[in-house]
Amino acid sequence: MAVGVLALQGSFNEHIAVLRRLGVKGVEIRKAEQLDSVSSLIIPGGESTTMAKLAQYHNLFPALREFVKTGKPVWGTCAGLIFLANNAVGQKTGGQELIGGLDCTVQRNFFGSQVMFTFKVLYSSSTVEIQEEDAVPEKKVIVAVKQGNLLGTAFHPELTADTRWHSYFLKMASEMGDGAASSSIAPVGGESQISDQEERIYLPIFH
């Protein structure tokens, strides 16, 4: 089974390219029935309001919510994290529909224009946190969260050359599907490059 990437809007091509580099097939998901052919799902970054409108137009929300409830791994990056959150603040007038599942509240456009800031990301065993270089050390902002089968990041690993977050998600998917042939990750060709690698994938720490 391949990894699905919601392909309504945003950086889905970039996610698929990273998966390809890791030897895993990524499938563009635009219709509800396509979710039956994948063992895990990535919801990419983009413009969350636009993505929500397109998902409504294609009647994808019921199928996406059901996919989350099955326990299959789902990773949301940026707008994808907003989609997976139970609550979102800072929405445009009228709000937007969410998939939900992550017991957290996400604030849209929290960081404003990304080019205006220089950030330092701190990594611990349980959270990834971000703070401004000149900020008070105690003031930390969580930018990555994992709850059960759900992973969310407020940034875009797919837009960098660093594949560790994708490797982490694939390892998470492999472990959750361990022992179930229908949930295994299928490489594009040859043997999987992520099946029995390191016990631990060390996620990036930026200074």
The catalytic position among 47, 58, 132, 156 is 156
CA atoms within a 13 Å half-sphere pointing along the CA-CB vector of 187 = 11
Give the type of residue at 47: E
H/E stretch holding 6:
strand 2-6
Question: Which residues, listed in sequence order, are joined to residue 60 by a DSSP beta bridge?
Answer: none
| Residue 104 is among the residues annotated as catalytic for this protein | no
CA quadruple 103, 107, 113, 118: dihedral, nearest 10: -60
| Residue 15 is among the residues annotated as catalytic for this protein | no
The catalytic position among 58, 158, 191, 199 is 158
| Residue 14 is among the residues annotated as catalytic for this protein | no
Strand ranges (E), 45-118? 74-77, 85-89, 102-107
User: Residues with catalytic annotation?
Assistant: 78, 156, 158
